[in-house]
Structures are given as C-alpha cells and as structure tokens.
Amino acid sequence: MKKIVFLMVIVGLVGMVGCKKDEVNGTDNGNEWIDLGLPSGTKWSKANEEGFYTYDEAVLKFKFGRRLPSKTQWEELVEKCEWEWIDSETGGYRITGPNGKSITLPAPGLYYEEDGWVEEPGSYGCYWSSSVDYSDEYEDAYVWTLFFEREDHHCGVENCYREVPSSVRLVQD
C-alpha cells in the first residue's frame, strides 16, 4: 500500500511540473506560445504566419490576442537572447532566451511583389513590427522591422517601406 501511495505522489508531482511547463509554453486559441524568460514577459508565437504581407495587411489580419511585436520587443529579442545561425534548407536563427527556451526564425527570403518571386530563401529574413517610424519626412511611410541576412550574420531592427511584403511572427497580447 505504501508503494502505491508513493507512486501516486510521484505521478502527481510529475503532473504538476508538466502543468507549470504548459503555463510557460502554452496554447491559447490554437496558437502555441513560447516564453523566453525576457524581462518584458513577452510570449512569442512558436511559428511564423505563412506567406508575406504588406504592413497594412498584417496589422488588419493579426489582432485580438495575437499581434505584431513592437520595435521594443524586437530590440529586446536581439539584445537579451543568444542568436545562432541554422544551416538548413530554410536557414534562419535559433534564438535562445535567458531561461533556455528557444524559438526559430526562418529566413524565408525577400519577396518581390512586382515579379512575384522570392530572392534567396534561406538567406534573408525581414519581419514586421507594429511600430511606425515617424523620424522620416514621409512620416508613416516606413515601419520598423527585424532584418537579418546569412552572409555577414547581420541582424538588427531597421526601417522598411510599409508596402514591401515581409514575414510575420506574432506575440501574445
């Protein structure tokens, strides 16, 4: 009998640990979120949204519980996490947060809408933020993005013309 009670206690403790893990890496309305242990508490989507979107398309489509990250959230990801380039078909970065959990940002390439083709998939990534760049004379023509490239392992937050189709990685509200 003592063995059965002991086994039940162990199973219960393992189940509780599993619940805590699910709190950190949870699912909300079918979306899987990863908490990287960042100071802001931002939870990042486990995967990209498929396709390329102009800024306006992305803002209109992704809201209500899942939205584009802000410029500040991208900067926090760059500054507070470890970035390791992944040599694979999709390329991109494995980003590991302070708590050891990670997400992968693929390098889907750069989309050229006029021609309808993608340049160098596996080498470039450009991801929208929700933050408009008002520092330019054209005011809201530009939006802050996370941009990276394989060749020189450049990664940073830069501005981009809002009509250039780019990738989307969401955060949880």
Which comes out higher in pLDDT, residue 1 or 37?
Answer: 37
User: Is the pLDDT assigned to residue 153 strictly greater than 50?
Assistant: yes
Percent of the chain with pLDDT over 70: 81
For 113-117, the CB contacts below 8 A with 24+ separation are: 113/163, 113/164, 113/165
Give me the pLDDT at residue 12, please: 37
| pLDDT for 113 | 72
* Residue 131 scores a pLDDT above 80: yes
Stretch among 44-58, 78-92, 151-165 having the lowest mean pLDDT: 151-165
Model-level pTM? 0.80
pLDDT at residue 138 in the model? 66
Predicted pLDDT at 20: 32
